[in-house]
Chain A
Amino acid sequence: MKRFLLALLTVAVLAIGLVLWLGLREDDSHPSTTPDVASAELVARGAYLARAGNCIGCHTARGGQPYAGGRAIQTPFGAIYASNITPDRETGIGAWSADDFWRALHNGKSRDGSLLYPAFPFPNYSRVTRADSDAIYAYLQSVPAVRQINRAPELDFPFNQRWLLVGWRALYFRPEVYQPQPAQSAEWNRGAYLVQGLGHCSACHTARNVFGAQRQELSGGIIPMVNWYATSLTGEHGAREWPLEDLIAFMGTGVSMQGSASGPMAEVVRDSLQHLQDDDLHAIAVYLKSLPPDEVTPSAEQPLPGPEHKAFLQRGARVYEKHCVDCHGADGRGEPPHFPPLAGNRSVLVPVPVNPIRLLVHGGYPPSTEGNPYPFGMPPFGNLLTDEEAAAVLSYIRNAWGNRASVVASPQINRLRPVMID
């Protein structure tokens, strides 16, 4: 008995030790090779890379100072406020060294060693090279310092217990710089590096499990709390089916022959993608198009229409004829790039129809970009249509011109009527 207890104790200690090791391990095999962290050339390169990483997107509040933090990142576990990454010594990262910055980016730990919540996409940023990390560090140290005290996370118990991240990290995180695949072209590798690393595309485009860890790579899913469906980049109507030049136009200008950027993606184009060089956008597009197709298609929330929906769809067709046909055409082909096609449009056909509902009810504009400074917009039809009419027209659109997707029910419209601004 005594020996059994001893053995049990040994196993328990070893198990705890393993979790601690897995959860706390750091990869310190990448010392800095940057000679001068303040050279103008390095700062310029860092500015570009910071765009690619869209640091400004989370680290700037609406109307706030750039990089001073304060924007709430809403998660199913509570709100986490992005931190001040300006070079203010007291409230920002002015006192941080390039090594401290690397530790956060690559190992997911703050300067004092505390574990960072993965709302900061360090599982992606871990793939960034040390040289690029140093460049971003140099750039951030060059932006105007803003004194703005960080706001503590507002998380529910037990998620407010930071030490529990040890377990999360043990299960889901391993610090690792992107390893180029020799069988692939340099361009493909550049695309993979940007998509997996700084671009952190999977932060939205990969569904998460109940612990907030990412599942099947880039196959799409609801963005929790934000309540937009990040489309599958690998599934039907996904990136692999788009012509290369349309993917590049979409990322670079916000509009394309296939569809326009809306919701959170409009913000990503505005703050990040439109600023990337054409060769980088090309590389991203090449990589995305090479991804293997989805093995499983996410199940739809509602059934596909049957004969019992015939009158409902006919009603939708009448609403379409009255309100939609001028811009999107009787054939659903629109007048792209300014009025996107609805036939085969992946944002229209998402399995959980939050995007088409919100686009119909709230409307919206793609971003102003250098390539498309004065975008056309979608009027908000929320005031003009009843829940029933909106559900009917969306069900019609999702099943006309070769489209095939679930019917939309009026309670789904009603739930999404309030405008959510984060």
Chain B
Amino acid sequence: MGSLVTSEWFRLVLGLVIVLAFSQLNALFLVWLERKVAGHIQLRIGPKEVGPFGLLQTIVDGLKLVGKELITPRSADSRLFPIAPVLVFMPVLVGFLVLPFAPNLIIRDMNVGVLLIFAFSAFTVLAILAGGWASNNKYALLGAIRSVAQNVAYEIPLLLAVLSVVLMVNSFQFSEIVKGQERVWFFLIQPVAALIYLICATAETNRAPFDIPEAESELVAGFHTEFSGMRFGLFFLAEYTNMFIVSAVATSLFFGGWHGPFGLDLGVPGIVWFLAKTYVLIFVIMWVRWTFPRLRFDQLMNLSWKFMIPLSLANLVVTAIVLKLV
């Protein structure tokens, strides 16, 4: 029996069930949170009718979404169009496999964990392009190519910022990276990298102020203009799950993962620390969205190519030389 529990297949199926349940619940909660945050920032109250504090609002919305008709526009690519939402959702869930929630709560502690997450998040670009192209709609295609251009531009500084952390622990393994932060969280040692990571992660998730690809006022909804019902729901779900993933990665790379501050655990279990920090980061991302205006597209690209990339490369070199000297 013991061998079954530890066997890879058991962990796989268990992981899948937990991840699916968690990702859906998390997305429902985040949508509610987003609306509450937006409401309070704009001096409104946000949802409050359905359930306590309006907590059930998104569940009702979700149920409504499931019942909606799945419209396929007549000019759309009939094969690629239905696949796109699946493609966009799959890589996001793969990311959960390697997240270090607590010392013994990692579905699969791979030695290339960090790399895996970034490899699969790059996969999203293909799904977005597939969706935008398959829609055969001008808004969708424009949104898709903007999104791809933005994602690839921000992927480079993102990766370089992460590399300066990898350099410090010499490993891509999440558990190793978190263990390296037992005393000092890496964002104190690598403030520049942390900042670059957060900005780029916001851009990678296509959120304001980097939401040019789905800029409502110009492109309706960007690459998912034509998707309705549950297909739209999957894009939506993927976006919020992605937000959780980037925040969780930031937590484990820069904010100590399951550790409390300065090695003080205060008797609180690791997973609580981890989730608390992740949700605080998510809150910050939401806060940013409702505070800053949207960038123009050339500003957006220039920020990455002319500022982030040189800065992150310089940060990498400085990190390397300091590590050699110390």
Task: Please say whether chains A and B are actual partners in one complex.
Answer: no
B residues near A, CB below 8 A?
none
